[in-house]
Amino acid sequence: MEQFEGKIAVVTGGGTGMGRELVRQLVAEGCHVAMCDVSEANMRETVSLCGDAGVRITTHVCDVSDEAQVNAFRDAVMAEHDTQHINLLFNNAGIGGGGEFVTGSREEWERTFAVCWYGVYYGCRAFMPLLVASDAGHVVNTSSVNGFWATLGPGVSHTAYAAAKFAVKGFTEALVTDLRLNAPHVQASVVMPGHIGTSIALNSAGILGRNSSLELSAEEVAVARKRMVARGLPVGNEPDDHIRQMLHQQALDFRDKAPTTAGQAATIILDGVRAGRWRILVGADAEHLDRKVREYPEEAYEASFLEKVWGAGHLQPITRGSDAT
């Protein structure tokens, strides 16, 4: 699919970040877009940023971890776009959280896994028949570098997100063969971004039941403090509100100080779709980490491995002296 003009695309998580930029760039190329998000306000802002592009853009409030809502989203897309097919499906929505399995909240773990894995699975289940009904289709599932490297460094638990992103990667790679056998006019790509300037750290708080890190409970602050002290940060005697403010600032820095912008990431993804690539690494840090994990697989979860990554100038903002979860 070398051009998107006149095609119909579905984008989950279109209200912010890479999802918003995918919508903007697709619309700019003459593609009709249906997006979903949990925030109607964010989607309205995405639409306003698209300007008067002369294509159909629809917004749909949908929690992708709920299969009934995803199916309702599909039905609304068919009705509002008056179509029995789509050409592009971007399963992009995701959140962070559920880092600790042994001592953490089961509810938060399962919520994170549900959005990041089942959101992709339900999206594919709902929209695959519409892709197959097209003359050319492409499904693009967003995994992560945490889909092949299950950590943010040896001082941080990162179990739910990594488990989900490994699942997305494995499923999509298997889907490549399944589609070649059963629907050869449909392609699949797995996207593995590194540190991208998105609001995932900020938005995840809302999905997990609070507006931001500023609303963390005393118990949650105690867990965060313990993690930060273990990583060498001198915060043992800091007031709880200082810890909350530090975590909130880290979420802002994750968005604002990333080496790759959301717009640049969207361009890389769409270029990969045009080129028909099934494996799309996003960012120099993702490319470097991919090489290093393959080169040093037994060392991947040791501090010495992270030193190699830092030595190449990658991932310091989210693995050195901070707590991005």
- For residue 277, the model assigns a pLDDT of 98
- For residue 94, the model assigns a pLDDT of 96
User: If pLDDT is split at 50, 70 and 90, which confidence band does 218 have?
Assistant: confident
**C-alpha distance across the termini of the chain, in Å:** 37
Whether 118 is catalytic:
no
Q: What pLDDT, in 10s, does the model give residues 163-210?
A: 999 999 999 999 999 999 999 999 999 999 999 987 665 565 555 555
Using CB atoms within 10 A of its CB, is residue 133 exposed (0-12), middle (13-18) or buried (19+)?
A: middle
Q: What pLDDT, in 10s, does the model give residues 95-151?
A: 999 999 999 999 999 999 999 999 999 999 999 999 999 999 999 999 999 999 999
Q: For the chain, give the mean pLDDT.
A: 90
Angstrom distances, CA of residue 57 to CA of 13, 162, 269: 14, 32, 20
Q: What is the CATH number of domain 8-210+261-299?
A: 3.40.50.720
* 258, pLDDT greater than 80: no
Tokens for 166, please give them.
């490994």
- For residue 259, the model assigns a pLDDT of 82
pTM of the model: 0.86
Q: Residue range 279-298: average pLDDT?
A: 97
- For residue 317, the model assigns a pLDDT of 67
Residue 300 CA to chain centroid, in angstroms? 22
- For residue 196, the model assigns a pLDDT of 94
Contact 88, 137 (CB under 8 A): yes
User: Which secondary structure element, helix H or strand E, spans residue 11, and what is its range?
Assistant: strand 8-12
Q: Is the C-alpha dihedral spanning 199, 31, 75, 46 positive or negative? A: positive
Tokens for 78, please give them.
């068919």
Taking the CB of residue 209, how many other CB atoms lie within 10 A of it? 10
* 324, pLDDT greater than 50: no
- For residue 211, the model assigns a pLDDT of 54
Catalytic, out of 118, 121, 122, 161: 161
